[in-house]
């Protein structure tokens, strides 16, 4: 299948195998997956990729309930930036995603189903310099580092591109990234508590810390700073019974958690 001259190169038969081999392997993997779907909920596996907020609000709890109801299922949850969730779905590394849909909803290879749209509030540690300043503008916030995941395009469109401590605009897709990028909500909370960094949250997620006087909500409303997440999966791919059950559990938890 290979011939040697000045180097090593595939023969005509070798090139054919290389060109067709990957497609055959992919087709075989999809066939085995379809066979596994027929086994139902009692056996099989489910891989979920979730953004930071949906992971904390519902995905982690839903996976725990699914495991309790079907203990033989093999389950995997990765919490990561929403941009990597989309990549995991497209590359087949995850069966279903639960993340921001702003770009996924218009992707020709993806299907989406909305779950939550909610406004986010900025917060900081107690005693932060901004807590003594009122009224606040977005320019005031830009004087401090922000911490969180990569933001969708609507944030870039609403903000001035400038060299300030709050963050930066990447060359790839001109997305906005906070100065400190993290993949979990708890990581953002820890960074905020230990520094002058700012982050955003649903107030209900930090309610205990607010009551304890660890954090303070900042009195500013930015309509473009909001959650807009839902389910994401590859177009044309049949969802497994485990994926459908996971989606049902997520919706039930989201309904019970208004935040």
Strand, helix or coil at 232? strand
130 and 113 within one domain: no
95 and 146 fall within a common domain: no
> Based on the domain organization, do 165 and 201 belong to the same domain?
yes
Spatial CB neighbours of 88, under 8 Å, sequence gap ≥ 6 = 49, 78, 80, 94, 97
Whether 1 is covered by a domain: the verdict is no
Confidence (pTM): 0.82
In this structure, the answer to whether residues 218 and 167 fall within a common structural domain is yes
- Give residue 239's Cα distance to chain centre: 19
In-domain check, residue 7: no
From CA 198, how far away is CA 129, in angstroms rounded? Answer: 11
Number of domains observed in the structure of the chain: 2
Within-domain flag for 102: yes
What gap in Å lies between CA 179 and CA 1, rounded to an integer? 51
Determine the Cα–Cα distance for residues 180 and 193; give it in Å rounded to an integer: 14
| 73 and 19 co-located in one domain | yes
What SS3 state is found at 46?
strand
Residue numbers of the domain that contains 178? 121-224
**Residue 16 shares a structural domain with residue 114:** yes
20 and 114 share a domain? yes
The verdict on residue 63 lying in a domain is yes
Domain with residue 67: its CATH number is 3.40.190.10
Domain assignment of residue 248, yes or no: yes
In order along its 259 residues, the chain shows pLDDT tens digits of: 556 656 556 676 556 565 665 555 555 555 555 555 545 566 689 999 999 999 999 999 999 999 999 999 999 999 999 999 999 999 999 999 999 998 899 999 999 999 999 999 999 999 999 999 989 999 999 999 999 999 887 887 787 778 889 998 876 656 889 999 999 999 999 999 999 999 999 999 999 999 999 999 999 999 999 999 999 999 998 899 999 999 999 999 999 987 7
Shared domain for 244 and 207, answered yes or no, is no
């Amino acid at each position: 299948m290979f011939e040697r001259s000045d180097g090593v190169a595939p023969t005509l038969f070798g090139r054919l195998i290389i060109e067709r081999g990957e497609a055959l392997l992919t087709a075989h993997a999809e066939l085995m997956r379809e066979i596994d779907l027929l086994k139902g909920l009692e056996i099989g596996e489910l891989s979920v990729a979730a953004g930071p907020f949906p992971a904390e609000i519902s995905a982690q709890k839903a996976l725990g309930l699914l495991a309790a109801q079907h203990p033989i299922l093999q389950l995997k949850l990765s919490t990561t930036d929403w941009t990597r969730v989309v990549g995991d779905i497209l590359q087949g590394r995850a069966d279903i995603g639960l993340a921001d849909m702003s770009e996924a909803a218009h992707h020709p290879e993806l299907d989406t189903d909305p779950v939550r749209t909610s406004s986010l509030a900025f917060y900081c540690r107690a005693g932060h310099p901004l807590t003594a300043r009122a009224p606040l503008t977005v320019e005031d916030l830009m004087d401090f580092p922000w911490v969180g995941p990569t933001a969708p395009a609507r944030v870039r469109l609403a903000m001035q591109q400038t060299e300030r401590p709050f963050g930066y605009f990447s060359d790839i897709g001109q997305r906005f990234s906070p100065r400190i990028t993290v993949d979990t909500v708890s990581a953002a909370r820890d960074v905020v508590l230990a520094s002058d960094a700012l982050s955003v949250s649903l107030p209900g997620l930090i309610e205990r810390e607010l009551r304890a006087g660890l954090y303070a909500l900042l009195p500013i409303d930015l309509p473009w700073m909001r959650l807009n997440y839902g389910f994401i999966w590859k177009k044309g791919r049949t969802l497994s019974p485990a994926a459908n059950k996971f989606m049902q559990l997520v919706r039930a938890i989201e309904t019970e958690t208004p935040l």
